Amino acid sequence: MEKVLMKGNEAVGAAAIRGGCRYFFGYPITPQNELPEYMSRELPKVGGVFLQAESEIAAINMVYGAAGSGARVMTSSSSPGIALKQEGISYIAGAELPCVIVNMMRGGPGLGGIQPGQSDYFQATRGGGNGDYRHIVYAPASVQETVDIMTEAFDVADQYRIPVLVLGDGMIGQMMEPVEFRDPPTRELPEKDWITDGTAGRRAPNIINSLYLAPQDLEDHNRRLDAKHRLITERETRWESFRCDDAEIVFVSYGTASRIVRNAVEMLREQGVRAGLIRPITLWPWPQAAFDALGPSVRALMAVEMSMGQMIDDVKISAAGRWPVGFYGRSGGMVPDQHAIAEAAVAMLETATQEVR
């Protein structure tokens, strides 16, 4: 299929429909409005339903109902709207329902701003909702990667009966890039024999539920979920290691920020500084293996984020004291500059050298 030039938000919608999505429940918020607008235009053409809910809370609960009834369903929003959806996401995770949620992040906290941000890392990976749950978090760095992930996300959600969050930012949503729509790898999907679609007198009633009043029942449920999380970690963790082989400093960065870091790596290499980049593609499950594979040349790690430092917690956990972990971040909708990133890296390497002496 030939490449077409598309705006990120619209490409997400096209990929979702290609991935089998037929139901969209959402509520307007900048900077992701082109996505629901696209779905309101395109879903009816394929026999699907777009419904604008009265709030983000209602939208995610409509997703809960539709997912429990067997639909391929999604919602999308941006940071403050995703905060409102957390209750529903917790219920969806608890009831083990498949769905896809898109967050085109903007700056925060509170109403924050409408420019791109990456300050929802904690919310996305630590569970903004209550309880012992996880959900998959993809952090694509280009419109093409977003499209590939969106097309596959509904299969992944169905395979594990788990919510899948695609974490973009205002930059990914708003920019135009050439994209090619490709079929995802084939997955063996379990039969949806647990959904509510009327018993038709052929089976006992199915119940969609996250309530387990007996403590032992709830612990058993928590253990089943934990086993599923471990399986997902084993099978679905994704990352890209760029020029890490001989690197003395390795950046860790995802999404839009990682594209700028990639430029910084090239720039540093030209200056004779051996830099590399670990780019997590799944933020949960987190690519611990990428860190364990680093060689003896590495002297320092540096997290680069469009926030005041959130992913850095995971980088420190992964470093486990093996390397010092530095940080460079911009926030509020400010986008990091590759020269500033490179300067921070050089300064950190000098400090690391002094410490060794």
Partner 1 sequence: MPMVFEKTRGLTDRETHYCPGCTHGIIHRLVAEVLEEMELLDATIGVAPVGCSVLAYDYFNCDMHEAAHGRAPAVATGIKRVHPDLTVFAYQGDGDLASIGTAEIVHAAHRGEKITVIFVNNAIYGMTGGQMAPTTLIGQKTTTSPYGREQSHAGNPIRISEMLATIDGATFIERTSVHNPQSVRKTKAAIREAFTVQQKGLGFSMVEVLSTCPTNWGMPPVEALEWLEANMIPYYPLGRFRSPGVDRTSAAEV
Pull the structure tokens for residue 18: 């290609």
Shortest distance in whole angstroms from residue 58 CB to partner 1: 4
Shortest distance in whole angstroms from residue 82 CB to partner 1: 16
Shortest distance in whole angstroms from residue 91 CB to partner 1: 5
Shortest distance in whole angstroms from residue 240 CB to partner 1: 36
Shortest distance in whole angstroms from residue 95 CB to partner 1: 8
3-state secondary structure of 284: strand
Map tokens 């006992």 to a residue: 204
Using alpha carbons, select from 100, 52, 46 the residue that is nearest to residue 75.
Answer: 100
| Cis amide linkage into residue 185, ω under 30° from 0 | no
Give every CB contact of residue 250 below 8 A, 6+ residues apart in sequence. Answer: 244, 275, 276, 277, 278, 294, 298, 300, 301, 302
Question: Given the complex with partner 1, which of 211 and 347 has the nearer CB atom?
Answer: 211
Question: Given the complex with partner 1, which of 48 and 173 has the nearer CB atom?
Answer: 48
Map tokens 């903007």 to a residue: 106
Question: Given the complex with partner 1, which of 89 and 342 has the nearer CB atom?
Answer: 89
Give the footprint of partner 1 on this chain (CB under 8 A).
Answer: 23, 25, 49, 51, 53-55, 57-59, 61-71, 73, 87-88, 91, 95, 196-201, 205-211
Give the torsion sign (CA, 157, 67, 71, 29).
negative
48 touches 21 (CB < 8 A): yes
Whole-number Å distance between alpha carbons of 285 and 74: 21
CB-neighbour burial class of residue 27 (10 A; exposed 0-12, middle 13-18, buried 19+): buried
Question: Given the complex with partner 1, which of 54 and 270 has the nearer CB atom?
Answer: 54
Question: Given the complex with partner 1, which of 66 and 341 has the nearer CB atom?
Answer: 66
Question: Given the complex with partner 1, which of 33 and 69 has the nearer CB atom?
Answer: 69
Question: Given the complex with partner 1, which of 56 and 314 has the nearer CB atom?
Answer: 56
Shortest distance in whole angstroms from residue 207 CB to partner 1: 5
Shortest distance in whole angstroms from residue 205 CB to partner 1: 5
Whole-number Å distance between alpha carbons of 215 and 249: 48
Question: Given the complex with partner 1, which of 30 and 69 has the nearer CB atom?
Answer: 69
3-state secondary structure of 250: strand
Shortest distance in whole angstroms from residue 201 CB to partner 1: 4
Residues in the chain: 357
Give every CB contact of residue 331 below 8 A, 6+ residues apart in sequence. Answer: 107, 117, 119, 306, 307, 308
